[in-house]
Chains A and B, each alone.
Chain A
Amino acid sequence: MTTTEPSAANPATEAEAPPPDPNAVQITINGRPHTARKGQLLIDAAADAGEYIPRFCYHERMTPVGKCRMCLVEADSGRGPAVTVSCMVPVSPDMKVDTESPTTKRMQEGILELLLANHPLDCPVCDKGGECPLQDQAFSHGPGESRMLEEKRHYEKPIAISDLVLLDRERCILCDRCTRFADEVAGDALIHFNSRGNNTHITTFPDEPFASYFSGNTVQICPVGALTAQPYRFKARPWDLSQQESTCTSCSVGCRTVVQSSRDELLRYMGVDSDPVNHGWLCDRGRFNFESVKSDQRVLQPLVRSGDEFQPVTWNAAMAEAAALITEALAAGGPSSVGIIGGARGTNEDAHAWARLGHDVIGTPNVYAQMGDGLPNGLLAESPATIDEAANAATIVLLGPDLKEELPVLYLRLRDAAAKRRSRIIEFAPKQTGLTSYAWRHVAYEPGTQAAAVAATLSDADVAAQLAKGNVVIVVGRANLAESSAATIAALNEVRAAVPGAKVLTAFRRGNVVGALRVGMRAGTGGLDTRGMLQAAADGKIECLVLLGADPLADFPDTNLARRALKAVPRIIAVDTFLTGSSQHANVVLAASAYAEKSGTHTNLEGRVTALAREVTPSGSTRADWMIAAELALELGTDLGYSSVADITAAIAENVSGYEEVTSASAAGDGVLAGAPTDLDAVEIPLPAVPERNAYEYRLVVSRVLYDKAVSTAQSPSLAHLAPGATVHLHPLDLERVGTSAGSEVKVSGTRTSVVFRVVADDTVLRGTAWVPFNQAGPNVGELIDCFAPVNDVRIETI
């Protein structure tokens, strides 16, 4: 509603009549006057006026198509009552709408009878039964019975249109929602109508599945049970589900979700339409990785090492052991010989409790939430942009990773901005990304030349003119794990020097990494970051290392350093949900509760704090990270004073810069945007000299793809097989130069070792560079990365 009516209680308003709102349109709905917005669709105006017009094909986030005809009403625009498609027709002044006229009702009953004519009505065995718009609207607006005596339409079913989604063509009412989503929202137009008339059906292209990272959304928006998701199919009835609103922590976008369970078992996540964040969409990894929470590989109770094996122990024994390890370390090397890595997986409360334990109880400055694959945390302080600001900017400068792979729903938002021509994207990337085809300018650079490429592009007159229009948002992240983050900072500084007013959206990737850094999981004065801690550990200077849900062997780019570090540290305490490659080296494993097993708050990459719900009982005897921290502090002789999540939420609001407004109440719904932090150090990293690339070598580009060996993917059976595996990608012409062919094995040699990969011809890779996806099954590219080198070059030979 955009107008305010003068109220009798406020004579001042009445005396000076407010100027007429140019955007107000007066209409009449079912005899009652209503003020609609100019250009508003009739179906939305009616909803505002409290009149629900039934619909199937209409979806607020997609272009109306008027195909199902369910929303027909009688409307009079001055030429008598006419059959009007309310999802296509905008309101016009003095329009008179009757959503309950005999003609309207007859049309609604007619359309529903026709929609049900060939619908199998197998509601008792249909996943959608109980939450089905067709079922609901047949009840509320339908004729009550069908007069169709003929045999119904038959199709082979179900058809797997992708690894995750199955299609039942008999249930389909051809509303065009899934196909529109695939085309308009995801940009993966891989499903479409085939044939015509009564034989029209949804199909994929021959031999080309609906391999979209966003395919699960089609299941959620399907108004019937035509699309079902493999992980949920036949698992539950909607009326048996209990649910709570929560936030997805699969990446740092922080999509709003509903977490659903039945009989204390997680069964489904659904996207919630949040205007500032995800518009209702989720990526498939975020939607389906609930399977990992109930994996039978979970660590369900604390473990203590005994020789080469772990023995399950009681929490008391495990805590005593962990406290003893820390006490020994303090005795052997003092507070700074203890390091804590991780915290990005948990809640803000988990991270704050651990930060207090590290900084205040143990007294070490060596606490860090990033895994050496991000950017300096000081970036968070510098004129932060929101997702909405980025998606409505005149110009979006991308200095970062492939958002489609790392922050999928942010990709959807920015893709939407470019596809709908709100924004122009200037992309700098070492390899083509999901957004490249939507970019106004795509600048491919060889690692080491990023800042120069940016400077050269900014001097282009067209680019300068575009940036001069103002409203510029820079999205910055780590595009290449085999290159120093200093290069990205230098490039960012180039853009900021040219566009002083630009805002920055920091594309940190891992779940709650922003929250963890901000509430305290960052190095204190003189403290070390993760790379520093691993180096110190390898040098024998760390007596005790705490891995707080961290797996350096998998996530730290330089595997060699991580391995040397874990080998050299005498005492390792792991707080984890699974026995990962790294936590297997621990002396004590403290079994942690997983997502949806604990409540709290979460901070997304723009600083939005939203709620996390505890929907199921923690598996086994696992405990939330914050409880473990509080308990361990007690064992070490300090009471942190935390006996509930609420205690810590309050402590954060009191102690953390920018979190003053955060309460469990304000974190509900779309949450609250934390203020910019004032307690982070400015970013100052000198740009190291980059050596020239030897013409025989290839510069290594390593980045993540959506599906990898991360536990949430690897422990979700539906997702695990979607990870592509480790291969080296070369430009087809470079393939010729190496003298090999796609699919063959090649030896890739760095300064330390050689690794054998299968080679893939990929023209999205720049010539002279070699791209390898990170953390994949098979040969480990991390062996080739030296995290102290400005760039990493490799030699590629046939075998």
Chain B
Amino acid sequence: MSTYPWAAGYIDDGDRPKVVTSRFHLEDGYTLERYHATGGYDGLKAVLKKSPTEVHDEVKTATVLGRGGAGFPAGTKWGLMPAGKFPRYLVVNGDESEPGTYKDRLLMERDPHQLVEGCLIAAYAAGLSQVFLYIRGEMPLAHERVTNALNEAYAAGYIGKNILGTKFSVDIVLHWGAGAYVVGEETALIESLEGKRGEPRLKPPFFPAAIGLYGQPTIVNNVETLSNLPWLAINGAAAYTAIGTATSPGTRMVAVSGHVNRPGVYEIINGTTTFRDLFYGEEFCQGIRNGNELKAFVPGGGSAPWFTPEQLDLPFEGRLVGAAGSMLGSGAIMVMDHTTDIPKAALTLTHFYAAESCGQCTPCREGGTWLERVLQRVVDGRGTRADLDQMFEIGESICPGNFPHASSSKLGLDATPFPYKMTTICFVGPSAFAPVHSALTLFRDEFEAKIVERKHIPVSVGVVDDHH
């Protein structure tokens, strides 16, 4: 479903300000010609007249929050690089692969020049020597469009030596990924760029800003984050912060999937729009399919703990959603109506994370698969009551203390602040447990309904390899 046949999935009903999707309604919005005609590269020209510090301060003032998942302010991130250490790199994380997320793909397909311009502005403001654009392997059209955009921009003198006659020079290198979810993790992405196995780096060091690509200071920014910069450069921080709230300024893209009438990508106002607005609003999803009841939804990508209708009135505000026990993450929202088989839904997500584990650390490699296999058994009607507790036990080995959750009081767990403790190197391991934890905490009765009480445990429980 889309408002425009060329931008499959994108819907822009309603009269909302557009920061990053302003060219999605144009069929040829991805060409340099159209980009120029709609104010393209004006932001870069404006920026080049200022000092890098001024531009950096403007981004800081605007509080552009990272749109990749963690929501860390971009301007602050740029400031974390050690002074005087060169070369320093910008790595663009276009390896969008969180289940349910498909907004960055549209940004790269529909408006690649906006991303290129954003990269150039960031490189200028943060004093970066080179940009590496990493695009997910399963996105051939995005790869093609960005390739063309880069060629056009090089030819037009926007990239390369002495950009637009100034002393500012930067190159952009395009890298096409090979298809691994974990490479969306920034340090794994850096490893992959270096030609190694896509495995997250060991922490410490905690941030690539200090030691990143090829051991140099590196900023890893999300595609949407950078796509905000051209608009910001033209309209200024004041105009940017006028949209949304003080702590969550601007707009953000959300990708809604599942049991709503109009699933799709929307650019919504940050901080004020609520989940209820999004699901039921006429300009958005227009209600749950077939007039069904909402049962649960995932607010921020497959690894986020689930919400129920109780949290419908929460706005898109990272801190509030965090306090409620989940996260906005990458802006992927999955809606489940009352017909959803919750254990199966959890299994689908857990299967994904177990399969996408890089295999580096024990809890994720062993725990994810084990969890999936126990859950599979339960879903198949071959589980026992002990299996339900066992899944929590496996989860405990992956993230001690389990997840804080809006409904954790049901289990008597102490709500600890997000993020949780984890025994793994990165968030993939806990992500495999997150859907199981949410589903089991919120809908334990559905799991119990699948358990057939038997006097004797069937022999097959112990010996059948149900995974293969």
Contacts and interface: CB of A to CB of B under 8 A. Distances in A.
Interface string B350-362: 0000111111111
A200 B396 contact: no
Given A65-B202, A174-B359, A199-B359, A117 B425 contact: no
B454 interface: no
Contacts, number: 115
A119 to B, nearest CB: 10
B367 A88 contact: no
Contacts of B122: none
Contacts of B425: 66-67, 69
A783 B368 CA distance: 66
B277 interface: no
Contacts of B230: none
A70 B362 CA distance: 9
B204 A89 contact: yes
A111 B398 CA distance: 8
B359 A197 contact: yes
Contacts of A200: 358-360, 365
A83 B355 CA distance: 25
A118 interface: yes
B292 interface: no
Nearest to A114: B366
B424 A69 contact: yes
Contacts of B358: 196-197, 200
Interface residues of A, number: 38
A72 B421 CA distance: 12
A193 B197 CA distance: 9
Nearest to A201: B359
Contacts of A83: 400, 421-423
B134 to A, nearest CB: 18
A114 B180 contact: no
A118 B366 contact: yes
Interface stretch (B23-31, B83-91, B444-452, B456-464): B456-464
B393 interface: yes
A525 interface: no
B410 interface: no
Given A85-B202, A88-B203, A151-B464, A111 B368 contact: no
Interface in B338-393: 354-363, 365-370, 373-374, 377, 390, 393
A151 B465 contact: yes
B423 A69 contact: yes
A106 B396 contact: yes
A477 B363 CA distance: 51
Given A72-B423, A83-B421, A193-B197, A114 B397 contact: yes
A647 B359 CA distance: 59
Contacts of B359: 174, 193, 195-200
B356 A197 contact: yes
B167 interface: no
Nearest to A153: B369
A204 interface: no
B467 interface: yes
Given A114-B397, A193-B359, A150 B465 contact: yes
Interface string B394-435: 101110110000000000000000000111110000000000
Interface in A278-320: none
B397 A113 contact: yes
A89 to B, nearest CB: 7
A674 interface: no
Given A197-B359, A198-B357, A106 B400 contact: yes
Interface string B243-274: 00000000000000000000000000000000
Contacts of A196: 180, 197, 357-359
A118 B359 CA distance: 13
A10 B465 CA distance: 70
A68 interface: yes
A324 interface: no
Contacts of A66: 202, 361, 425
Contact of B374 (A69, A110, A150, A193): A150
A41 to B, nearest CB: 12
A147 B390 contact: yes
Contact of B369 (A88, A106, A111, A197): A197
A67 B370 contact: no
Contact of B361 (A67, A107, A147): A67
A115 B423 contact: no
A197 B202 contact: no
A117 B365 CA distance: 11
A704 B76 CA distance: 61
Nearest to A148: B370
A741 interface: no
Interface string A197-235: 111100000000000000000000000000000000000
A196 B368 CA distance: 13
Nearest to A83: B421
Contacts of B463: 151
Contacts of B354: 197-198
B423 A149 contact: no
Nearest to B401: A103
Given A83-B400, A110-B423, A197-B355, A149 B362 contact: no
Contacts of A115: 362, 366
Nearest to A102: B400
Contacts of B366: 114-115, 117-118, 198
Contacts of A110: 363, 396-398, 400, 423
Interface in A81-122: 82-83, 85, 88-89, 103, 106-107, 109-111, 113-115, 117-118
A88 B204 contact: yes
Contacts of B465: 150-151
A114 B370 contact: yes
Contacts of A117: 366, 370
A117 B465 CA distance: 14
A173 interface: yes
Contacts of B398: 110
A174 B422 contact: no
Contacts of B197: 193, 196
A174 B366 CA distance: 11
Nearest to A110: B397
A150 B382 CA distance: 12
Interface in B215-252: none
B454 to A, nearest CB: 14
Given A149-B461, A150-B373, A111 B467 contact: no
Interface in A40-69: 64-69
B363 A69 contact: yes
Contacts of B204: 88-89
Contacts of B377: 150
A68 B370 contact: no
Contacts of B365: 174, 197-198, 200
A148 B423 CA distance: 19
Given A89-B204, A150-B374, A150-B377, 20 more contacts: A67-B202, A67-B362, A70-B362, A88-B204, A103-B421, A106-B397, A106-B400, A107-B400, A110-B396, A114-B362, A117-B366, A148-B370, A151-B464, A174-B362, A195-B359, A197-B354, A198-B354, A198-B357, A198-B365, A200-B359
Interface of A: 64-70, 72, 82-83, 85, 88-89, 103, 106-107, 109-111, 113-115, 117-118, 147-151, 173-174, 193, 195-200
Closest 6 CB pairs of A and B: A110-B397, A200-B359, A151-B465, A197-B357, A114-B366, A198-B369
Interface of B: 180, 197, 202-204, 354-363, 365-370, 373-374, 377, 390, 393-394, 396-398, 400-401, 421-425, 461-467
28 contacts: A66-B202, A66-B425, A67-B202, A67-B361, A69-B361, A69-B363, A69-B425, A72-B423, A88-B203, A103-B400, A103-B421, A107-B397, A109-B397, A110-B398, A114-B362, A114-B363, A114-B397, A118-B366, A149-B461, A151-B467, A174-B359, A197-B354, A197-B355, A197-B359, A197-B369, A198-B354, A198-B359, A200-B358
